[in-house]
Amino acid sequence: MGRWEPDASGRLRQAAMELYVERGFEQTTVAEIAQRAGLTARTFFRYFADKREVLFAGSELLQEEMVTALEGAPVSASPMDAVGLALDAAAAMLGGRREYSRRRQSVIAANADLRERELIKMASLSAALADGLRRRGVADPDASLAAEAGIAVFRVAFERWVYARRSSDLAQVMRESLDQLTTLTAQRNRRGTR
């Protein structure tokens, strides 16, 4: 093996995903991932802290992109419209990787510790969006409620997109899910005023 490994991170990520799907997350070792990628375990640890990080690497970038989109919303945008722009940013980042996302989701669904880690990631995204809304002047509890609603839409839309039988556009599924939430809220408001 040479000192320079082209796209070592990508090769490690692909090897890990293949092994996680074939053998299961718990049964896969870092050494096996590195060997499958044609690299060393030492190289693995240059890119990832542990084998979980293969699945969660990039979370910070996703959060940064979503918060940047939210904060870049026009001043006149409602909190939910700003959150909608954050969802658009997430769809732009993740939308081109449906098969990878499907496999990743199946690995996470099969492991309780990974599901917990995913929930923590979603809670962090929600907190970051709520902070971004507060910086835009949205008071609590509205900022927290809009952020939590946005993350609920993200999770439902992402799952619908990943498990859809036919190919679909993640941005469209996100928008449809956000519209569906708006419709449900309007129905509740109409019932409450009768």
Q: Is 8 helix (H, G, I), strand (E, B) or coil?
A: helix
- Report the distance separating Cα 68 and Cα 180, nearest Å: 25
Per-residue tokens: 37: 């990628």
Question: The whole model's pTM is what?
Answer: 0.86
| CATH homologous superfamily, domain 8-53 | Homeodomain-like (1.10.10.60)
| Residue 138 DSSP class | P
Annotated domain spans of the chain: 8-53, 58-192
- Report the distance separating Cα 50 and Cα 25, nearest Å: 12
- Report the distance separating Cα 14 and Cα 3, nearest Å: 20
Among 54, 50, 52, residue whose Cα is nearest residue 8: 54
| CATH homologous superfamily, domain 58-192 | Tetracycline Repressor, domain 2 (1.10.357.10)
**Mind listing the pLDDT tens digit of every residue in the chain (194 residues)?**
444 557 899 999 999 999 999 999 999 999 999 999 999 999 999 999 999 999 998 899 999 999 999 999 999 999 999 999 999 999 999 988 888 899 999 999 999 999 999 999 999 999 999 999 999 999 999 999 999 999 999 999 999 999 888 878 899 999 999 999 888 887 766 665 55
CB 167 within 8 Å of CB 161: no
| CB neighbour class for 10 (10 Å; exposed up to 12, middle 13-18, buried from 19) | exposed
CB 1 within 8 Å of CB 40: yes
Domain 8-53 matches domain 58-192 at the CATH topology level: no
